[in-house]
Structure 1
Amino acid sequence: MKRDILISKWLNNDLNDQELEAFKTLEDYDDLVKLNQGLQAFKVDDYNTSKELDAVLNTIKSNKKQSTHWFKPFMRVAAILAICFSLYYYTTTLDTTITTEFAQKTTIELPDASSVSLNAKSLLTFNKKDWKNNREVELNGEAFFKVAKGSSFKVKTKTGLVTVYGTQFNVKQWNNYFEVICYEGLVGVTYNSQETKLKPGNSFLIIDGKIIVKEKENRTSPSWLNNESTFKSLPYSRVIAEFERQYDVDITLINIDSRQLFSGSFAHDNIDVAIKAITLPLHVTYSKVNNTIILKRE
């Protein structure tokens, strides 16, 4: 394994037993350990890696003519120092990204003890280092938030911005679909530069650019947290898309209008029961071929 990769994995405490033994055989192993110990008490706020490396190299260049016996050891230490600083700065400022795959859900805790549950095929991004000053996440998909009290908390999506003041709420952002449901507290939804305040039970829904009025939500949390997807007068295409995300299948419609409205639900733990739940109410037949489900109306 390359030397710089070993150093990088060592700094991140990510070496396996075999890699650790290889790392210990590096000729500058002792120097690396001493440098790392010194860095433990070092905090970088606005470290400019390129600037500092240039300064080291300029110092080497200006002293090269005066002395040569120490040049190679100094160059080696300078390179190690530059790598350590660069990796430290990179790993402490990098955004954290959490993703879920088809038929997968996960719950994570944010730096302030707020929690986020991600539905299938979703993505959440946030920055740990700047969290105290900027409680903000970016979401693509669906997530349920339990926000700890504190400064303003924001959820950025491609369609709109959700501003929270200590609450529980659900955000769903898919292609041409944007929905926010407030379950506790107060939520502000900004869309087209206009903010709408939501109280518990209120929703904000946009489908294909049109604001849709919904009935008041009576649940205390979204149904998908209990492995069930529920729909109230939503286009059938949205039902199909959610089914595909939860079961990692492809669905083909034949002689079916995907714009027709559907009310009902399906469970996430039994595909045979679930497919009947979304076909029987519409008198639709179905067949399965490998990973594809064909829905057909005669």
Structure 2
Amino acid sequence: MSYNRFLELLLRKKSGALSAEEQEELNGFLGNNPNYQELSGMVEQLYETPLKEIREVDRTYLRKRWDSLKQRTAQLPAGAGNQAPAGKTRRMRYYMAAASVAALLLVGAFYFQRRGLTTTRDTVVATKMGSKTSMKLPDGSQVWLNAGSELSYDKDFGKVNREVHLSGEAYFDVTHDAEHPFIVHTNSFNIRVLGTAFNVKAYTSDKESEATLVRGSIELSMNNEDTRKILLKPNEKLVFKKADDSREKTVRGESAMPEIRVTGLQTPFKDSVTVETQWLHDCLAFRDHKLKDIASMISRWYGVTVEINDADLKEKEFSGLFKDESVEQVLHALKLAGGFDYTISKNKITIVP
């Protein structure tokens, strides 16, 4: 694993965007490279530095943080024990210092990009893992934000435009304004509406993104070479499956295209609420979902880390509806249905056959 990949995984973990597979990758690397545990702690400490009293993250601030990080890096051991040759010790410290430089740059960029301190998006609302929130936008539109999500918009919202950027999941009840269409930008697609209610699920760590229409109409356009515009009707859902990263090119040498499909909504539970909007009623719901995807949902819902140590088990499908149950109760119910076992250690859950 490269230094940049290691640091990227650390930052994705702190932002709540780390998938179960990426968590396994990170844990495996740290297990085989114990020296990086210290660097991991340094990056987490830098990330957690309070920003509420800092109006601008400038070069002076980053330099102070870097000096502190550099001093601690110089004290890192070369490896297990004190028997490492001097040359190896120097090389290890050099590598750790180089990694720390990358850490500073990545964390600095992360502040700018994720916390909106120097971007044109003046307002950023984010939720932690295991929490939800709701808000009213300046135009009167209502937004409910699910766990591990972020919504941002600029100072001209409602005046010049009504555009928001979403990473995660949100339900929108949009106020009608014919002169200012409401546009939601995600990493997979853009949604254009005038006045309607819909749900968007677009976590960057998920392989699929969804847009679910409850009432009104929405128009979707893709963020790739696909020029189609798709119009959804009430009780329809668009599912956008990202192209497989393992096959960057097709047999014709062209970029792999994502899979797009439109389906009707299902109300498999007695309360007649669709699976896609059950989270608004504080219910964790899934229907015919693979366990690896349920693991991501549980991770965000309860603020825990979930690992699955079996490839076949990851692909097994489950359905369920849970309200007010603890994470242990949810896992026990799935265990009875799926024939697997699990262990819980603090905030880490490991699922085994």
TM-score normalised by structure 2 residue count: 0.55
Q: Is the 8 A contact 1:146 1:169 kept in 2?
A: yes
After TM superposition, give the deviation of residue 242 of structure 1 in Å: 0.8
Q: Is the 8 A contact 1:137 1:156 kept in 2?
A: yes
Match of residue 279, structure 1, among 335, 343, 351: 335
How far apart are the structure 2 equivalents of 1:130 and 1:215? 32
How far apart are the structure 2 equivalents of 1:127 and 1:186? 25
Q: Is the 8 A contact 2:176 2:195 kept in 1?
A: yes
Alignment of 1:185 onto 2:221: no
After TM superposition, give the deviation of residue 139 of structure 1 in Å: 0.1
Alignment of 1:270 onto 2:326: yes
Match of 1:224, SS state, is: helix
How far apart are the structure 1 equivalents of 2:200 and 2:124? 17
Match of residue 302, structure 2, among 241, 244, 247: 247
After TM superposition, give the deviation of residue 207 of structure 1 in Å: 2.6
- C-alpha RMSD of matched pairs (Å): 2.5
- Give the number of the structure whose alpha-carbon radius of gyration is greater: 1
Q: Which residue of 2 aligns with 1:167?
A: 196
Match of 1:230, SS state, is: strand
Match of 2:188, SS state, is: coil
After TM superposition, give the deviation of residue 217 of structure 1 in Å: 3.7
How far apart are the structure 2 equivalents of 1:186 and 1:134? 19
How far apart are the structure 1 equivalents of 2:334 and 2:158? 42
Alignment of 1:200 onto 2:200: no
The change in CA–CA distance for 1:141 and 1:203 in structure 2 (over 3 A counts) is same
Q: For each residue in 1:247-296, what CA deviation from the matched residue of structure 2 results, as whole angstroms up to 9, or x when unmatched? A: 11111212343233332233365222222233322122222122111212
Q: For each residue in 1:81-115, what CA deviation from the matched residue of structure 2 results, as whole angstroms up to 9, or x when unmatched? A: xxxxxxxxx99x75200000010100011001101
After TM superposition, give the deviation of residue 231 of structure 1 in Å: 1.7
Q: Is the 8 A contact 1:287 1:294 kept in 2?
A: yes
Larger displacement relative to structure 2 (138-147 or 157-166): 157-166
Match of 1:281, SS state, is: helix
Q: Which residue of 2 aligns with 1:260?
A: 316
- Unaligned 5+ residue runs, structure 2? 1-52, 56-116, 243-257, 268-272
Q: How does 1:16-95 map to 2 (within 5 A)?
A: 95=122
How far apart are the structure 1 equivalents of 2:335 and 2:227? 40
Q: Which residue of 2 aligns with 1:53?
A: none
Q: Which residue of 2 aligns with 1:24?
A: none
After TM superposition, give the deviation of residue 119 of structure 1 in Å: 0.2
Q: Which residue of 1 aligns with 2:32?
A: none
Match of 1:222, SS state, is: helix
Alignment of 1:228 onto 2:259: no
Larger displacement relative to structure 2 (285-294 or 111-120): 285-294
Amino acid at match of 1:184: R
Amino acid at match of 1:206: F
Q: Is the 8 A contact 1:169 1:180 kept in 2?
A: yes
The change in CA–CA distance for 1:164 and 1:106 in structure 2 (over 3 A counts) is same
- Unaligned 5+ residue runs, structure 1? 1-5, 9-89
How far apart are the structure 1 equivalents of 2:219 and 2:324? 31
Alignment of 1:138 onto 2:172: no
Alignment of 1:127 onto 2:154: yes
Q: Which residue of 2 aligns with 1:211?
A: 260
Which is bigger in relative contact order (C-alpha 8 A, separation at least 6)? 2
How much identity, in percent, do the aligned residues show?
30
Match of 2:314, SS state, is: coil
Q: Is the 8 A contact 2:188 2:240 kept in 1?
A: no
Q: Which residue of 1 aligns with 2:134?
A: 107
Q: Is the 8 A contact 1:111 1:128 kept in 2?
A: no
Q: How many residues align?
A: 210
Amino acid at match of 2:207: N
How far apart are the structure 2 equivalents of 1:146 and 1:215? 20
Match of residue 181, structure 2, among 137, 148, 152: 152
How far apart are the structure 2 equivalents of 1:187 and 1:94? 24
Q: For each residue in 1:170-221, what CA deviation from the matched residue of structure 2 results, as whole angstroms up to 9, or x when unmatched? A: 0000232210000111111112321111111100012333234544244367
Larger displacement relative to structure 2 (165-174 or 286-295): 286-295
Q: Is the 8 A contact 1:252 1:295 kept in 2?
A: yes
